Amino acid sequence: MKYYIQTYGCQMNVADAGEYRQHLQNYGFLPTENLKEAQVVLINTCTVRQHAEDKVFTLLGSLKRWKEKNPENILIVAGCVAQRIGEHLKRRFPYVDLVIGAKDIDYFPKALGQLSRLGQLGPVSPFELTSKSNHLATQPLKHQITTFVTIMRGCENFCSYCIVPYVRGKEKSRPVEEIISEIKCLVEQGVKEVTLLGQNVNSYRSRRFSPSDLETHEGLKGQLQWASASEMNFANLLEEVNKIQGLERIRFVTSHPKDLAEKIIYAMRDLDKVCEHLHLPVQAGANKILEKMNRKYSREDYLSLVEKIKKIIPEIALTTDIIVGFPGETEEDFAQTLDLVEKVEFDSAYTFKYSPRPGTGAAKLENDVPQEVKEERLKRLNELGKKISERKNQKLVGTKQEVLFEKDNKQKFEGRTRTNKIVFVSPVSPAGGEEENLVGKIVKVEITQAYAHSLIGIIDYSDY
């Protein structure tokens, strides 16, 4: 019995897919990459753009015959489209067995158990549905060196263009103990790098009881006064994760600029495993647009935050997200975005044309920037971004970088620097010996060539 998961969208969805995987395996299903040989198909959906939603409709339509031919097969739709228009999906595709929204992921094991076929099978380890969390420790895929670990879900920022707060609900942080034990388990299975994941990791909040509290109150854990526990913020969580033996690197996404406290920047500087890379979405460079986007910071706030970060961590690599063509964006506003990009010198940027999402605040505004203007602005922005990335990467030629190798692409090994730059190295054998498998190793690499999106290097064997 096999399952197939098709995931669309962001890293959060990728991490959620890991959780769905665990629960399906708990019913004895094995993974397959061939949809045709699966008895369970789960489509993990994204609603951030209409295009992503359309892909889901197309796939669901194409699965009608698969389901008709094998009525006992199970078709599940999960994620953000399921949350946003679950009822519509059930009506339009009545052969779907289970529609479970992103907000309801904690109820997935219970919902699975209620499907008659799986109900008969029963889970391998029975699952108690608790009000807190149904998170199963994510198992890394075979030979996986890096992985995501969800530390919180949901968002309460309500940026006016964004559907996430509506489909993922309020912020909910996972308990520190649960996160630490999941990472330890991943490390035992060969993972070297984790990316702590949340819509807004900087606002992570959890409580932790001291070991003596737990001893004193053994058996009464649930009744402990919440106030007697110490509050843990994101910087504290980084400190705890940094202590995990065998873990080599820590990254995190996504950081909202308004919540990036100074103590997080100092934690990044002081904790040896936390990498010198920060993804800090700016979205736009003009105050008028930032305000309409409800981003809760100004251009000046952002620039002074960047200045502070660069002062504290001079080697930091900064990446960002930018939307062009937001309602009301004039040529002058866009020029402010280009100017900000020049000033910050982002190492790379994810850039998008604005498209309205039904139900968001911005959808009520007139989508008044013509498509061809959006395209032209996006092109100019990408050209500038590429020029800056190339310029910054060129400066790395001749330097030695610490690279964690993640993949063997046969012709080349692929890894990343601490600053999250992709590095390719040709397989070579030290001193004429057998070719070394670099996957999972951290090695010093001398950078010999640089492009906008990748670096090429040679292993520095003098470092061995």
**Nearer residue to ligand SF4 within complex by CB, 140 or 361:** 361
Eight-class DSSP state of 5: E
72 to 110, 111, 117, 256: CA distances (angstroms): 19, 17, 8, 45
Nearer Cβ to ligand SF4 (146/199): 199
User: Is the CA virtual torsion 357, 361, 365, 371 positive or negative?
Assistant: negative
**Please, what is the minimum distance in Å from the beta carbon of residue 203 to ligand SF4?**
9
Measured CA distances, 211 to 6, 214, 229 (Å): 42, 5, 10
Residue 386 token pair: 């590429």
Residues 132-171, one symbol each (x = binds ligand SF4 by CB under 6 A, - = not), give -----------------------x-xxx--x-xx------
Give residue 438's identity as a one-letter amino acid code.
L
Least CB distance to ligand SF4 at residue 168 (A):
8
The DSSP result for 47-103, as a single string, is: -SSHHHHHHHHHHHHHTHHHHHH-TTSEEEEEEHHHHHHHHHHHHH-TT-SEEEEGG
Which residues are 408's β-sheet partners?
Answer: 413
With CB under 6 A as the contact rule, the residue among 45, 138, 146, 199 that binds ligand SF4 is 199
Nearer to ligand SF4, 80 or 268 (CB): 80
351/340 Cα distance (integer angstroms): 14
DSSP classification of residue 229: S
Q: How far is the CB of 321 from ligand SF4 (least distance, A)?
A: 8
Q: Distance between CA atoms of 138 and 193, rounded to whole angstroms?
A: 14
Question: Which of 290/423 has CB closer to ligand SF4?
Answer: 290
Question: What is the distance between the terminal CA atoms of the chain, rounded to a whole angstrom?
Answer: 46
Footprint of ligand SF4 on 306-345 (CB under 6 A): none
The distance of closest approach from Cβ of residue 46 to ligand SF4 in the complex, given in angstroms and rounded to an integer, is: 13
Closest to ligand SF4 by CB, 80 vs 388, is 80
Rounded distance between C-alpha atoms, residue 133 and residue 162, angstroms: 26
Query: At closest approach, how far in Å is the CB of 166 from ligand SF4?
Result: 9
Positions 249 through 308 that interact with ligand SF4 (CB under 6 A): 256
Q: Which residues contact 183 (CB under 8 A, 6 or more apart)?
A: 149, 191, 194, 241, 244, 247
CB of 340: closest distance to ligand SF4 in angstroms?
18
For residue 109, give the 3-state DSSP assignment: helix
| Binding-residue total with ligand SF4 (CB under 6 A) | 10
> Judging by DSSP bridges, how do beta strands 230-233 and 249-253 pair with one another?
unpaired
Q: Which is nearer to ligand SF4, 147 or 203 (CB)?
A: 203
Binding-residue pattern over the window 91 to 120 for ligand SF4, x denoting contact by CB under 6 A: ------------------------------
The residue among 105 and 423 lying less far from ligand SF4, judged by its C-beta, is: 105
Name which of residues 229 to 258 contact ligand SF4 (CB under 6 A). 256
Shortest reach from residue 164's CB to ligand SF4, in Å: 4
Q: Which of 138, 200, 351, 401 binds ligand SF4 (CB under 6 A)?
A: 200
Which residue, 152 or 341, has its beta carbon nearer to ligand SF4? Answer: 152
Q: By CB under 6 A, tell whether 350 contacts ligand SF4.
A: no
Task: Pick the closer one to ligand SF4 by CB: 15 or 155.
Answer: 155
By CB under 6 A, tell whether 197 contacts ligand SF4.
no
Place of tokens 């610490």: 402
Q: Measured between alpha carbons, how far is residue 331 from residues 47, 144, 336, 344, 377 in Å?
A: 29, 45, 9, 20, 9
Minimum distance of ligand SF4 from residue 173's CB (angstroms):
15
Residue 265: CB minimum distance to ligand SF4, A = 19
| Of 197 and 247, CB closest to ligand SF4 | 197
Query: How far, in whole angstroms, is CA 445 from its chain's centroid?
Result: 27
CB-nearer residue toward ligand SF4: 67 or 256: 256
Identify the CA nearest to 415 among candidates 146, 139, 143, 18: 146
Residues binding ligand SF4 (CB under 6 A): 155, 157-159, 162, 164-165, 199-200, 256
